[in-house]
Amino acid sequence: MNEPERAGSRMDDSNRMPRFNWDERIRISDDASAPFRPGTLANIVGIYSGASRRGQYFDRFAPGTVYTVEFDDGKSVDIHEDDIEPALIT
């Protein structure tokens, strides 16, 4: 028998802090689908979690934080937190 989801769990991100901050440099995960440009660097320009994830648009994403990222060519995309990782700048 499944336990009900608790506040702060994966299904309810209302109490969770986003993993990344606005203007943070990130890398698109190698496992992300092609339209998201796997392996590419980008900057966080929007963060949608908890109450800010209202509306049917966000239903296409799994529970959790959705980020708008901007690539170096100026194009942007909304992407789920599972598809991005910290940029390792050496």
User: Residue 52: what are its φ and ψ, rounded to 5°?
Assistant: -75, -5
Q: What confidence tens digit (pLDDT) does each residue in 34-54 have?
A: 999 999 999 999 999 988 888
Task: Tell me the domain boundaries of the chain.
Answer: 1-90
pTM greater than 0.75 (yes/no) = yes
Work out the pLDDT band at 13, boundaries 50, 70, 90. low
Least confident stretch, 16-20, 57-61, 78-82:
16-20
Helix (H) / strand (E) containing 79: strand 76-80
Pairing of strands 66-71, 84-86: unpaired
Return the CATH number of 1-90, one of 2.30.30.140, 1.10.760.10, 3.40.50.720, 3.20.20.150: 2.30.30.140
